[in-house]
Structure 1
Amino acid sequence: FFVERIRKAGAIIIGKTNVPEFGLGSNTYNPVFGPTLNAFDPALTAGGSSGGTAVALALDMLPVADGSDFGGSLRNPAAYNNVYGFRPSQGLVPAGPDIDVFYSQMGVEGPMGRSVRDIALLLDEQAGYHPQAPLSYGKEGSFLDGLGTKASGGRVAWLGDLGGHLPTEPGVLDLCETALARFADASFPSEALVPDVDFEALWQAFVTLRQASSGCGLKAHYDDPEKRRLLKPEAVWEVEQAIRLTAPQIHAASVQRTAWHRTLLSLFERFDLIALPTAQVFPFDVTTHWPREVAGRTMDSYHRWMQVSAFATLGGCPALNVPAGFDAKGRPMGMQLIGHPRGDLAVLKAGAAYEATLPWPVGAA
């Protein structure tokens, strides 16, 4: 639906950028087009699933681009390529028509760009109610016009690595905390805190709901023996886990998600934004399908190392990746600015205030 809108607005669509098979995993490779290489170091991954999008933006091949985000696909590749990626609130950009529009709620479509202004420009055309997307809703005014009024400041809750719950490669938190210090100079002071939440139970809820959505969606391919043998192992895993799920398990995961949403609402009574690293590891060797270990801890699934992306997804919140800087090896990293559900303009305005503090250019070209 949103593609029709951007075409009508005069956008010239020059092609499709590379993604991993079925968008699974945060490393963009597939047997058809091969791997997408990082804009800053071709030996490293570009992230994913919108890895091709992020690299195209970083190399000035495109002014703006779109992507989707379930487990960080608009945020992680943006972080890995020093650009901006925005996951809108659930329902702001109409989904469809080729998905189960009532059931597939946690994956959203959204914009990427080299500036917050460019993101707002594209989002203005993508967003808004569509009658064939029953969970969509209308936008109020223009996001681009809204950026004309500068953010007046606000309080930021810095969740960091959730008190050690999230294994994080050394250097990631340091870059984000340095970025927060700059953000404080723009009237967005931060406070470190860890909500009283069972984060492991919350992650398992995310995994269950993702299997129930993505796994069931892939089952038609799995049921065809000829297609099954072509599926990547991660796709087979999603389907086989989905087959084992029961209705009470899915219901319990949804209840867990609801509890997290309520926790977020209580946090937003005290804070304007929640901040987290966008990824738990820096861009890694592009030939590595996914990290098997992070900070000495074994990863038990192909997406466990991206657990940090699940929190905005489960809350239906808008989340903007902003560039956080580079480590000593020149590897980019980003930080998530997460806002109140349907508070998309406030997040973009905060992102614009943050953007003004950056001491380096965005992109790689």
Structure 2
Amino acid sequence: MDDILNMAAGAQAALIAAGRLSAQDLMRATLERVAAVNGPLNAIVSLRDGDALLAEARAADDAQASGPLHGLPIAIKDLADAAGLPTSQGSPLFAGQIAARDDLHVARLRKAGAIIIGKTNTPEFGLGSHTYNPVHGVTGNPYDPKLSCGGSSGGAAVALATGMLSIADGSDMMGSLRNPAGWNNVYGLRPSWGRVPAEPEGDTFLHQLSTNGPMARCPSDLALLLDVMSGPDPRQPHGMPPESFSPLSDEVKGKRIGWLGDWGKACSYEAGILPLVEDAFQVFEGLGCVVDAIAPPFSSEALWDSWITLRSWSVGASLAPLLDSGRLKPEAVWEAERGQALSAMDVHRASVLRSDWFGCAAQLFDRYDALVLPTAQVWPFPVDRSYPTEIAGQKMDTYHRWMEVVIPASLIGLPAVAVPAGFGAQGLPMGMQLIGRRGDDIGLLELAQAYHLATEWPQNRPPG
């Protein structure tokens, strides 16, 4: 059964469609793997009853294929609603509340034939890139359970890395699909903003920072899942036209890629990260791409000022009704209070900076097909730390400053795919972001596909 679980989701689905693999056998193998490895890692939470899941898999075997994910097990990030399952968001305020319906992207996964087995763990309200909360506890890194797996899609990344799942959904405001992918030796795609529609509730015009997206162990499975999750919703104003992402080409010769490194020394990194990722970046030269090291294209401080204003405004708006509960973690209180203190002109100034960066990036993408940065500025840290407070002697002035490297894409809704970059001296994984022009999700996936075929990092293990 191990061979089945190590397959790509696309290969699993093809075998089920051909009658050479039953959904029941895949589900049984999945449940056995969860029982064997999930305990000390705590990646999958709110696991459904095994007999009920096997019955659902048998029903899938007896039914006509319903879509490209027919019979594939999946667990949903615990920020999204899946009908009949609890959605805690990692908060005691919502622990035990059962969702009455699916969120939009979850409904699309279910319609495509996926069988939802439970939820994947996340930080409280998805805040912070370290997966722990008072409801479900901490999720450990499979390469060392005493260390963080990243976040906020940490449970999803660990489930992929350990073979409990072959595909997973996640979400990304500040690297939440990218950092856990990097720290778990898997792939995560933050799509162009609007590619995967959010819930058509509340404000649908102003808060353009977070998006749902796919995670997997290979780019072809990212494309498979993006085909299902993406597509406009008529109730939302910023959707993108339908587009097919499968199958992926791996022809990337002549593509131009720019290395941004430490953004002109504006971003601090722990030892070993930049050399490792720079070596991984050079793989593209061997694939026939033109690779350049480029100067910082925009002020890092301007990016940060814009980001923390717009993020606090967005988070503050969502958490305002809960602020008086007295049960939010300190980082959530800080974000909410900061967001409430902003004026309309503060938000306007931040949006002007964002607009300036968008225009600057558009000129960059006249010359380059992708830009490259690491997925994080630190290696996985001990699970008993809430967040890093300094990097290489430089103090961090907020709980999320150590993730500054992810905001150039997040701030203006650019697509960014996290690809594995290999292992450091301690045997821990690190990742590399490929950032593309808005709307060119398929171009990024093709770069990732060529890179994957040349490296196959998720199929490798650290030295020793």
TM over 0.5: yes
Aligned pairs for 1:144-159 (under 5 A) are 144-145=246-247, 147-148=248-249, 150-159=251-260
Question: Normalised by the size of structure 2, how large is the TM-score?
Answer: 0.75
Matched, 1:40 2:143: yes
Counterparts of 1:20 and 1:113 in 2: how far apart (Å)? 20
- Output aligned runs, 1:1-365, within 5 Å: 1-140=104-243, 142-145=244-247, 147-148=248-249, 150-222=251-323, 224=324, 227=325, 229-358=326-455, 360-362=457-459
Provide the rounded CA distance (Å) in 2 between the counterparts of 1:97 and 1:29. Answer: 28
CA contact (8 A) 1:28 1:36 kept: yes
Q: How far 1:98 sits from its partner (Å)? A: 4.4
State how far apart, in whole Å, the 2-side matches of 1:321 and 1:163 are: 22
Find the residue that maps to 1:43 and give its secondary structure: strand
Q: CA deviation at 1:135?
A: 1.3
Q: Distance in 2 between matches of 1:8 and 1:104?
A: 28
**Structure 1 partner of 2:74:** none
Residue 177 of structure 1 aligns with an amino acid whose one-letter code is E
Given that 1:66 and 1:110 are in contact with CA atoms closer than 8 Å, whether structure 2 keeps it comes out as yes
Q: Which deviates more, 111-120 or 100-109?
A: 100-109
SS in 1 for 2:116: coil
Deviations 1:125-180 (Å, cap 9, x if unpaired)?
0011111222112223x2013x1463334111100001110011111111111101
Distance 1:72 1:359 in 2: 22
TM-score when normalising by structure 1:
0.96
Deviation at 1:104, TM superposition (A): 2.2
**For the residues of structure 2 that align with 1:152 and 1:51, how far apart are their CA atoms?**
34
Cα distance in 1 for partners of 2:438, 2:276 equals 27
Partner deviation per Cα, 1:191-214 (whole Å, 9 max, x = no partner): 111234221121011000001101
Distance 1:153 1:33 in 2: 47
Which amino acid in structure 2 is aligned with residue 105 of structure 1? Q
Uncovered stretches (5+) of structure 1, i.e. residues with no partner: none
Check the 8 A contact 1:156/1:188 in 2, yes or no.
Answer: yes
Residue 99 of structure 1: how far off its partner (Å): 4.9
- Secondary structure, counterpart of 2:133 in structure 1: coil
1:271 Cα deviation after fit: 0.8
Rg (Cα) greater in structure: 2
Return the offset for 1:184: 1.0
Give the drift of 1:315.
2.2
Rate the CA distance shift 1:191–1:27 in 2: closer, same or farther, 3 A. same
**1:109 match: secondary structure:** strand
Whose RCO is larger (CA < 8 A, sep 6+)?
Answer: 1
Q: Distance in 1 between matches of 2:230 and 2:221?
A: 14
Q: Distance in 2 between matches of 1:363 and 1:91?
A: 34
Describe the shift of the 1:99–1:167 C-alpha distance in structure 2 as closer, same or farther (beyond 3 A).
farther
Worse-matched range after superposition: 76-85 or 185-194: 185-194
Q: What per-residue deviation string (whole Å, max 9, x for no partner) do you get for residues 314-343 of structure 1?
A: 121110000001111011100000001000
Q: Which amino acid aligns with 2:194?
A: G
Report the CA distance between 1:216 and its aligned residue. Answer: 1.6
RMSD over equivalenced CA pairs, Å:
1.4
Overall identity of the aligned pairs, in %: 52
Q: Are the aligned partners of 1:183 and 1:354 in contact in 2 as well (CA < 8 Å)?
A: yes
Query: Deviations for 1:251-279, whole angstroms, at most 9, x for unmatched residues?
Result: 00000000101111111111111000110
Distance 2:447 2:297 in 1: 26
- Of residues 257-266 and 148-157 in structure 1, the stretch that sits farther from structure 2 once superposed is 148-157
Helix, strand or coil at the partner of 1:323: strand
Distance in 2, Cα, partners of 1:286 & 1:337: 28
Q: Which amino acid aligns with 1:311?
A: P
How many equivalent residue pairs? 359
Q: Is the 8 A contact 1:279 1:334 kept in 2?
A: yes
Deviation at 1:215, TM superposition (A): 1.4
CA contact (8 A) 1:155 1:189 kept: yes
Taking structure 1 as reference, are residues 306 and 99 closer, same or farther at Cα in structure 2, changes over 3 Å only?
farther
CA–CA separation in structure 2 for the residues paired with 1:160 and 1:36: 29
State how far apart, in whole Å, the 1-side matches of 2:433 and 2:422 are.
13
Shift of 1:356: 1.4
**SS at structure 2 position matched to 1:309:** helix
Report the CA distance between 1:21 and its aligned residue.
0.3
Q: Distance in 1 between matches of 2:224 and 2:253?
A: 21
Equivalent position of 2:25 in the other structure: none
User: 2: CA distance between counterparts of 1:286 and 1:117?
Assistant: 32
Is the Cα contact below 8 Å between 2:388 and 2:402 reproduced in 1?
yes
